[in-house]
Amino acid sequence: MKKTPKTIADLKINWTFCKGEENTPIPESKVFFLFQELNSSIYDLVIKKDRYVIRYQNEEFVIHSLDNESICSFMTYLNWLVWDSFEKTFKLKKFVRVSDTEYILYGK
């Protein structure tokens, strides 16, 4: 029996934070479709509508998820926030759950 993920910390996400496309009407479309391709078994999972806090190094990112928002949309937005702050490429290692809406992001 397959374990059902309860939080984003339970997901095995294959992701490298990266720069989105420049000079396009929707600069994050490349990131969105790349996430779908790399995470085909989970990209359409819906996350609970809430206010999420993601911490990475000395930064705190707040994301207000929408009704029926997919993990793909959530990660696309997080990618944009992380890139905007750090402008560096790094692989997602894991999310560690602090509470239902607060997580620490670890990269390598």
Q: What is the mean pLDDT of residues 67-94?
A: 93
65-84 mean pLDDT: 92
pLDDT in tens, 23-70: 555 556 888 999 999 999 999 999 999 999 999 999 999 999 988 899
pTM: 0.89
Segment holding 30, helix H or strand E = helix 29-38
Amino acid identity at 80: W
- CA distances (Å), origin 108, targets 4, 17, 76, 89, 105: 26, 10, 19, 10, 10
Q: Using alpha carbons, list the distances in angstroms from residue 75 to 1, 18, 87, 98, 103.
A: 27, 11, 16, 18, 13
Residue 35 burial class via C-beta count within 10 angstroms: exposed 0-12, middle 13-18, buried 19 and up = buried
Residue 53 CA to residue 51 CA, distance in Å, equals 7
Q: At what angle do helices 71-86 and 29-38 cross, to 10 degrees?
A: 120
User: How much is the pLDDT for 20?
Assistant: 77
- Sorted by where each begins, the domain ranges of the chain are 30-107
